């Protein structure tokens, strides 16, 4: 059974199957050029992360959070180059799922496909809830429209707010006018909510509606989605550049001192938040079958989108922490609007509009990506055939798109927004690790004109030197972890595991002359993973256990490779 778990698809067979489908007219529309793909990447990356999660990252890391943007960009850059190499060799939809099927085998491919649900579908729930908050602020501050509170919040948040408010008001010790106002608002919202069967009803209606509209747009065609995404990207990039230029005039350089107020450990607390801001550039790889020239355009689109977003992020981080002291960003979920609230309210309004547009574009790209991964998994027999259904008129994966809409829209009605950011980051980093490692297993091929080729840089000496420097810089943390062995928290155990893996990889690189770029992609992403809180790892493992259960109950026996293997004569199965 172990051999069948790691059965692999060949690149030649993937291309052959795809060409056969294309000849029969059963494939998707090829309408995306390098500009469209780059814009899709930017549309996915610049969204809820930069407009919300960067606030708490700035609070923990101070102005030095800009360093974390550089570190994360380097990690994503190594991974992007590895994605680009795969995209140039395997120009079909499926992203990291398909790439892992080629290099690691079926069970790892399933794990990656299941993990990518965290990035695209589960992650999009957070984006939808974030969109709802921005949209409501826009209605209230610009159009003076006030929706009932029970239509704007999930039941968990509403219940917690009501209990806190009633306890606080009953104590009689609250004197702060703002807090009193917030508590009374929470109580009034609870009392005004409709009741069904004795239970107060709370829903996030705007989140559900936007998911429905985006799902419809993804359903009717990639051309319409492309044009919509392009317009939204141009608008939000223009707004961010404007915010950077306008913000320069409000910068007080004294706010940049100290640059690392909580030392480097404080910067690392923002790993999930900052990495969450980069999630999405890999979504480009899910549209391979809709690219005009995927082997040439997709790799460059990934690199272009990552470079553009990195420059914007670093500048935004420096401007925000220059305008406002880092200590004021605690629990601030709209940092770009926050810094202009009392300085230039008209800029705050522009930022609010841009935030709605930005999160809309993220929703669109991720709702495009998830169905195409399911479509690839269905073609391989790991999901029911219905998921590979292509609409005869719109030529989109119609059934998978509808399922993705329900998977995101229904939970967005009820789930609390802040519960899955870490989980989404772990899932995405895990995919990056396997894609980077998978490049090492690809056979070398001759460089072809017009096709991206990952440059080979021998890591024989470079990687061991970098790991030695890392151990030297973090020697204090390593010594402390060993000294307190048995009393350490899970976080330090994860860190020691990373150090052990880094040493092993550096030795293997020295012995086998591994390429520098994919090895550094693996190491950077592994390091970012271990800095994510340990309790999120527990949820991640539970998610993986659920996914493997589904694989063994359905995917393993219905796999196309499994059926092909069973049809072979016994002497050919060995």
Tens digits of residue pLDDT in 456-481? 899 999 999 999 999 998 888 888 87
**Which DSSP state fits 30?**
-
Above 80 in pLDDT, residue 162? yes
Predicted TM-score of the model (pTM): 0.79
DSSP character string of 104-159 = T-HHHHHHHHHHHHIIIIIHHHHHHHHHHHHHHHHHHHTS-----GGGBS-HHHHH
The Cα–Cα gap between 68 and 276 comes to: 12
Of the ranges 147-161, 323-337, 404-418, 545-559, the best mean pLDDT one: 545-559
pLDDT at 472 (0 to 100) = 92
Tens digits of residue pLDDT in 271-283? 766 776 677 777 7
Above 60 in pLDDT, residue 572? no
pLDDT at 346 (0 to 100) = 83
Report residue 335's pLDDT band, with 50, 70 and 90 as the boundaries. confident
Count helices and strands in the chain by DSSP H and E runs: 27, 2
Phi then psi dihedrals of residue 515, to 5 deg? -70, 140
Mean pLDDT of 29-56: 78
Mean pLDDT of the chain: 82
Tens digits of residue pLDDT in 62-108? 888 888 888 888 888 888 888 888 877 776 655 678 778 888 889 98
Above 50 in pLDDT, residue 539? yes
Report residue 31's pLDDT band, with 50, 70 and 90 as the boundaries. confident
pLDDT at 71 (0 to 100) = 84
Tens digits of residue pLDDT in 407-462? 999 999 988 765 666 777 788 888 888 889 988 888 777 777 767 788 889 999 99
The Cα–Cα gap between 365 and 217 comes to: 11
Mean pLDDT of 142-167: 86
Mean pLDDT of 236-259: 88
DSSP character string of 249-312 = TT--GGGGSSSSTTHHHHHHTTHHHHHHHHTTGGGGGGGGGGBSSHHHHHHHHHHHHHHHHHHH
The Cα–Cα gap between 155 and 568 comes to: 55
Phi then psi dihedrals of residue 437, to 5 deg? -70, -30
């Amino acid at each position: 059974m172990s051999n069948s778990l790691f059965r692999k698809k060949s690149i030649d067979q993937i291309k052959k199957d795809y060409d056969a489908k294309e000849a029969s007219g059963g494939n998707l529309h090829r309408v995306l050029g390098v500009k469209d793909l780059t814009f899709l990447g930017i549309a996915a990356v610049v969204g809820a992360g930069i407009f919300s999660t960067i606030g708490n990252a700035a609070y923990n890391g101070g102005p030095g959070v800009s360093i974390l943007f550089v570190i994360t960009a380097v990690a994503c850059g190594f991974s992007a180059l590895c994605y680009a190499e795969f995209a140039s060799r395997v120009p079909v939809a499926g992203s990291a799922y398909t790439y892992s099927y080629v290099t690691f085998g079926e069970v790892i491919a399933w794990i990656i496909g299941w993990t990518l649900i965290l990035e695209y579908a589960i992650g999009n729930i957070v984006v939808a809830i974030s969109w709802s908050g921005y949209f409501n602020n826009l209605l209230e501050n610009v159009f003076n429209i006030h929706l009932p509170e029970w239509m704007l919040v999930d039941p968990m948040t509403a219940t917690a707010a009501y209990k806190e408010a009633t306890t606080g008001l009953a104590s009689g010790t609250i004197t702060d006018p703002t807090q009193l106002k917030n508590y009374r608002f929470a109580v009034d919202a609870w009392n005004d909510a409709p009741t069904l069967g004795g239970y107060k009803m709370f829903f996030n209606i705007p989140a559900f509606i936007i998911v429905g509209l985006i799902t419809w747009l993804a359903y009717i065609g990639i051309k319409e989605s492309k044009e919509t995404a392009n317009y939204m990207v141009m608008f939000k990039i223009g707004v961010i550049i404007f915010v950077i230029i306008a913000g320069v005039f409000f910068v007080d350089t004294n706010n940049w001192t100290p640059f690392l107020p909580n030392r480097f450990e404080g910067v690392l607390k923002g790993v999930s938040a900052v990495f969450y801001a980069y999630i999405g550039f890999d979504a480009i790889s899910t549209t391979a079958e809709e690219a005009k020239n995927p082997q040439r355009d997709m790799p460059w689109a990934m690199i272009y989108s990552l470079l553009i977003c990195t420059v914007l992020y670093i500048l935004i981080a420096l401007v925000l922490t220059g305008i406002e002291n880092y200590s004021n960003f605690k629990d601030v979920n709209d940092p770009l609007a926050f810094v202009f609230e009392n300085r230039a309210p008209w800029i705050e309004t522009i930022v609010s509009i841009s935030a709605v547009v930005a999160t809309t574009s993220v929703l669109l790209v991720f709702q495009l990506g998830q169905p195409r991964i399911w479509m690839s998994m269905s073609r391989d027999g790991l999901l029911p055939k219905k998921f590979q259904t292509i609409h005869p008129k719109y030529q989109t994966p119609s059934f998978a798109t509808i399922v993705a809409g329900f998977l995101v829209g229904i939970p967005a009605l009820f789930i609390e927004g802040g519960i899955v950011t870490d989980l989404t980051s772990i899932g995405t980093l895990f995919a990056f690790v396997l894609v980077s490692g998978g490049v090492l297993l690809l056979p070398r091929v001759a460089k072809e004109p017009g096709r991206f080729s990952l440059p080979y840089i021998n890591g024989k000496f470079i990687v061991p030197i970098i790991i030695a420097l890392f151990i030297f810089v973090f020697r204090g943390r390593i010594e402390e972890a060993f000294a307190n062995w048995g009393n350490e928290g899970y976080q330090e155990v994860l860190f020691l595991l990373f150090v052990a893996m880094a040493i092993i990889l550096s030795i293997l690189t020295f012995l086998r002359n591994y390429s520098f770029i994919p090895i550094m992609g693996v190491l950077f992403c592994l390091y970012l993973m271990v800095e994510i809180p340990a309790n999120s790892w527990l949820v991640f493992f539970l998610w993986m256990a659920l996914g493997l259960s589904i694989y063994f109950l359905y995917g393993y026996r219905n796999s196309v490779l499994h059926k092909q293997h069973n049809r072979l004569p016994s002497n050919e199965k060995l």
